[in-house]
Amino acid sequence: MAVGIGAGGFMGIALETTSGTYEAPTKYFAFESESLAYTQETNFRRPIRKSASIIGAVDGNSRVEGDISMEAFEDILPYFLYCSRVTVVKTGVAPNFIYTATPTAAAVPTMTMSATVVRNGVAFGYSGLVVGSFTLTVEDGTLKFNPSLLGREEADQSIPVPIFSMTTPFGAGKYQIQIPTASQVFDADGFDFQVDDSAEAQYRLKDTGRGAQFISFGERTVTLSMERDFESRTEYDAYKALTSQSITLTATKGTNNQISVVMPAAIKDEYTLGLSGQGDLIRASMTYNGVIDASGNDYTLVVKSQEDITP
C-alpha cells in the first residue's frame, strides 16, 4: 500500500509489507515542501604518515532523513500514523472510517514506509521510513501537518504516473478548542501540537548494505503551544500550582471529515505575559507538556475519513 505527494514533481509514500523493502506509491496528494535525502557518514582517513592531507576514505553508515510540510488531509494522515509510535485501531464502515491512534512505549516501529520523490523528472526512492516526530499547527487559518522522517536506505525507482487526491484542506471557521475538555474557548489564535519520539537510526555490522538496520525510539515529549487572551489571575495561578487540564483540539469539515487531538493531562510548562504598548491586549503565551493519564496515554489522535486504509 502506498501514498504519494506532488508539487513541481511529486512524492509517493508506501506502507511496506516487509520493513525496509521498497514499495512503489499508489496514492498521491499535494504538499508544500520536502527535504528527504540520503545521508552517508564517510570516514575520511588521516593516519600519521608524514602527510597533512586526507589520505583516503572508507565507507561509513548511511540513512535517509528529512521533513515534509503539507496541509493536513484526513485521507492522508492515517498513512503516516501507521508508521508512527502509535497503535492505530480502524473502526466504522464506508463512508465513515475512524482511525484512533494511541501512543505506545514500543522501542521499534511496527510498520515502515517507502517514499518516491520525483524532482524535475529525476526519481529518488527511499525505504524503511519512520515518523520520528510530527507537528499539527494552524497557519493563516489552514491546518498543517509536518512530519519528520528517518529511514534506512535508498533504492532505485522508475517514475510512476500520479493521480492526485482532490481533498480540500481544513480552513478558518473549522476549529474547536476546549480547555478543559467540554469547555470551548474562543480566545486562542491557533495551536502548535508536537509529538517527538526521539527516533534514532541503529547501525549493525552486516554485509547487506550500509543503511541502518532499523530505527529505534527513545523518550517521548508531547507539547502544545498557543497564545491566548489573558482574562484573569486564576489562570496564571493554575500555572504555578501545576494544575493539569484535559485539552481537546478538533478540526471538522463534516461528519466524515475530522481530525481531533486530546491531551488528557496537560500541565503548563511556560506561561509568558507581556504588554508591548499602551492600550494593547494582555496576551499569554502558553506551552503545555503532556503527561499520561490513568490509561497510560499522553495524547490520543482520532481521524474520521472516507479513505479505507488497511495495512
Contact between 89 and 24 under an 8 Å Cβ cutoff? The reply is no
- Under DSSP, is residue 162 helix (H, G, I), strand (E, B) or coil? coil
Write down the pLDDT at residue 13: 86
Contact between 63 and 128 under an 8 Å Cβ cutoff? The reply is no
d(CA 99, CA 82): 10
The tens digit of pLDDT for each residue in 193-222 reads: 999 999 999 999 999 999 999 999 999 999
C-alpha grid cell for residue 152? Answer: 534506512
- Under DSSP, is residue 177 helix (H, G, I), strand (E, B) or coil? strand
Query: Within the chain, which residues score under 70 in pLDDT?
Result: 1-8, 276-277, 279
User: How far is the first Cα of the chain from the last one, in angstroms, to the nearest whole number?
Assistant: 7
Write down the pLDDT at residue 6: 42
Backbone φ and ψ of 220, nearest 5°: -100, 140
